[in-house]
Structure 1
Amino acid sequence: MLSVNRVVAEPEGPAREKAFQTALDVLVDRRDEFNAQGYVPRDYIDLLKRAGIYRASTPRRFGGDALDPSTFMKKIEQISTVDPATGWVASFGSSLVYLAALPPDTQRDLYAEGPDLTYAGGLFPMQEATAVDGGYRVSGVWQFTSGCMGADLIGVGLAGGPETKGRPLTALVRPEQAEIVPNWDVAGMRATGSHNVRLDDVFVPQEWTFVRGGTPTVDEPLYRYPGLAYAAQVLAVTALGAARGALDYTLGVSAGRTSITGGAKKGQRPSYKSGLALAEAKLRSARAFFYETTDEVFALAEAGDEIPTEKVALVRLAASHAAHVGREVALEAFDLCGTGAIFRSHPMQRYLQDALVPAQHAFLQTATYEAAGAVLLGLEPDVPSFP
């Protein structure tokens, strides 16, 4: 079904590390371009492929890396420190964990030309599809398809039935089968290019659909890790990166020029010193909780042990906390920068506007705190599909 001109990752080791550093260096030069045009272009996606980002969640049996979550997310955090929106697009290098629920033969076809594959999913609103012999006829419009401008494969959400126990189906199509509807007119995470996609009576074979969050047909540690929790984490980590970038900027200008009113240099002001220190402590604490819970749960996945619901709830809690703390720290850094930061051309605008977005996502909104508390108390959470 899928036929694309695949870009292949550099071999593991120094060559791939160099490719990753090259991608970061190029991003410094081009992040304003990406923000202005509203998407990360395919030629830069190819640089991320060479750096191994888009084989990170491909099963090892099909030539991928199936990286542990912490190793992958630290790379996304690094990218987000330079440009959070590009980090958001790169974070979907994790999304092939969903595709592990496809039939093994379909996955074999999917990766026949190589394991480096970019996937963009626009799952909502779920649409009713027409069941036909061998598959579905699919029409509709789906929102928030982040990274669709550089995707090799697009997934859309279909309403499930009794056979899926009410869980949504995802149908996979080639980009040329879908129309991208440009509508991404936002202030934060602008470069994610999260446009709508439209399908008009497209036939999707049954074997190219899967239940979102369904049982994987691949038995490797990454696919035993809780998938929906991981989906929340890879978005939350962009807020950690945004906050890190914002704080690094405030450190860099701390010894800069005096105030236009003639006041002391920023770094000499008591409020600047204490504000910077408190923000640093807050960010590092949230980050430690985030990766601690990740590694604890992945260790259970590696051992093949059952992962208690309470542990998954802690992963979700750590993700939400990271998103909200990232937002707070970026705002505190903005405050430290003073009046100059209000200008659209100021570097802090990138970090602030992008850092505001992750905590707005349904996976990370304030309601997930209450849901996590409910699980820890042995109660039923009100948030759907939690944890």
Structure 2
Amino acid sequence: MVHTPEGVGFGDVLAELARRRQEFREQRYVPKDFIDRLKRIGIYRAATPSKFGGQPLPPAEFCQAVERISVVDGSAGWVASFGSAQIYLAALPLETQAELYRDGPDVAFAGALFPMQRAAATERGYLVDGHWKFASGCMGADVIGVGLPGDDDSGGKPRTAVLRPDQAEIVQDWDVVGMRATGSFDIVVRGVEVPREWTFIRGGAPTVDEPLYHYPTIAYASQVLAVVGAGVARAALDHARQAGGGYTGVTGAPKLADRAYYRTEVARAEAELSSARAWFYDLSDQVWQHVLRGDTATDEHNARLRLASAHLARVSSQVVDRLVEISGTAPIYTAHPLRDLAGDALVPKQHAFLGPAIFDSAGAVLMGLAPTSPGFR
């Protein structure tokens, strides 16, 4: 269970989110005061090493928490999902992590990893200068990471430089049809020297020897995004069931729930989403139990986790699109709930971690070949 210090209940935070989600969408980001609320229910310590005061959760438990948030608002779920980012940060030197968590285990990280920008090596580290996109949650972040290309020292894997928010400029240019409140703004950094010990290899070996940091890192980063789509799809199904008993078209046709095609498609959508979720969570638990036994996760474990995540994201988006299609003319209005849900469900499916290339790479690994896309493992 997500820890809830100071008597703050998960349900209380969800109720507040329901009241404020339109505010967040209009300003295009989840504000720091609400991220602080998420901290108080343990979202931002759920992947912090226990040696630094964290309370790391099994991946499936954290994903379930993110999914619950996403049912209420996909953008807030997306921002909350980066409470898992400490699995990346666990590749920092232990001394750096001790400094990072000096004031407590609840640290919000926002990563602007693409496009990767070259940084000149200095005696102490790297001279960082460039412009990056998609820094989700940056308006409430405690630290911001920017992506650097791989080098000989990293084995070709990309590197991330960690900065304080006051070392970067946030450019508020987020204007999208889905996940409008994620605040996935651009980050600009000009001539900041980042010490080498404040950089890490993305997906690199952890310096913390605890079970969570032996779970496949990039796969986990994919999972926490996929469940946002699942939460959005659940919200759409909940709406469809409620609306079915009340909506009558202008033509005088029967209520939606009295139409065979509507009942059939809602049932099919329920079955497909539930099936994709069940496989996703069952597989996550299998790999977690493997890691808890002290065994090393295999390339096939990683491939199956990536595949299940991409599949869940795709099914979730298809579910919402199908519900729009069978709901008559009502969803053509901009204020209709399914309009925002369709846009939100589209975003996880389009993410690089969950897109079409993942199916090809997963298939290659399952057939004993090397993955076909970079950063797959």
TM-score normalised over the length of structure 1: 0.95
Q: CA deviation at 1:159?
A: 2.1
Deviations, residues 288-340 of structure 1 (Å, cap 9, x unaligned): 01101111111111111022211211100000000000000011122232211
Query: Aligned-pair RMSD on alpha carbons?
Result: 1.4
Question: Structure 1 residue 380 and structure 2 residue 370: aligned?
Answer: yes
SS in 2 for 1:337: coil
* Distance verdict in 2 for CA 1:13–1:200, change over 3 Å: closer
> 1:118: which partner in 2?
108
Question: Structure 1 residue 62 and structure 2 residue 62: aligned?
Answer: no
Question: Structure 1 residue 320 and structure 2 residue 310: aligned?
Answer: yes
Say if 2:3 and 2:41, in contact at 8 Å, map to a contact too.
no
Deviations, residues 169-227 of structure 1 (Å, cap 9, x unaligned): 11111001100012211111111111110111112111111111111010111000000
Hey, what's the Cα distance between the residues in 2 that align with 1:258 and 1:139?
Answer: 57
1:197 pairs, out of 187, 205, 213, with: 187
SS in 1 for 2:231: helix
Question: Structure 1 residue 178 and structure 2 residue 165: aligned?
Answer: no
1:164 pairs, out of 154, 157, 163, with: 154
2:43 pairs, out of 35, 40, 53, with: 53
Equivalent pairs counted in the alignment come to 377
Say if 1:242 and 1:351, in contact at 8 Å, map to a contact too.
yes
Deviations, residues 121-146 of structure 1 (Å, cap 9, x unaligned): 01112222122222222111111111
Summarize the alignment of residues 327-338 of structure 1 with structure 2, pairs less than 5 Å apart: 327-338=317-328
TM-score normalised over the length of structure 2: 0.97
Hey, what's the Cα distance between the residues in 2 that align with 1:14 and 1:178?
Answer: 32
> 2:91: which partner in 1?
101
Question: Structure 1 residue 309 and structure 2 residue 292: aligned?
Answer: no
Deviations, residues 238-267 of structure 1 (Å, cap 9, x unaligned): 110010000001111121042211111111
* Distance verdict in 2 for CA 1:37–1:294, change over 3 Å: same
Hey, what's the Cα distance between the residues in 1 that align with 2:251 and 2:18?
Answer: 32
Hey, what's the Cα distance between the residues in 2 that align with 1:258 and 1:17?
Answer: 44
Say if 1:259 and 1:265, in contact at 8 Å, map to a contact too.
yes
Summarize the alignment of residues 64-79 of structure 1 with structure 2, pairs less than 5 Å apart: 64-79=54-69
> 1:5: which partner in 2?
none
Hey, what's the Cα distance between the residues in 1 that align with 2:26 and 2:266?
Answer: 30
SS in 2 for 1:125: coil
Q: CA deviation at 1:19?
A: 2.7
Taking only the aligned residue pairs, the percentage that are identical comes to: 52
Q: Which runs of 5 or more residues in structure 1 are unaligned?
A: 1-10
Say if 1:83 and 1:350, in contact at 8 Å, map to a contact too.
no
Hey, what's the Cα distance between the residues in 2 that align with 1:365 and 1:28?
Answer: 29
Q: Which runs of 5 or more residues in structure 2 are unaligned?
A: none
Summarize the alignment of residues 139-154 of structure 1 with structure 2, pairs less than 5 Å apart: 139-154=129-144
1:298 pairs, out of 288, 308, 311, with: 288
Deviations, residues 49-92 of structure 1 (Å, cap 9, x unaligned): 11111111100111111111000000100111111111101100
Question: Structure 1 residue 32 and structure 2 residue 22: aligned?
Answer: yes
2:270 pairs, out of 280, 289, 312, with: 280
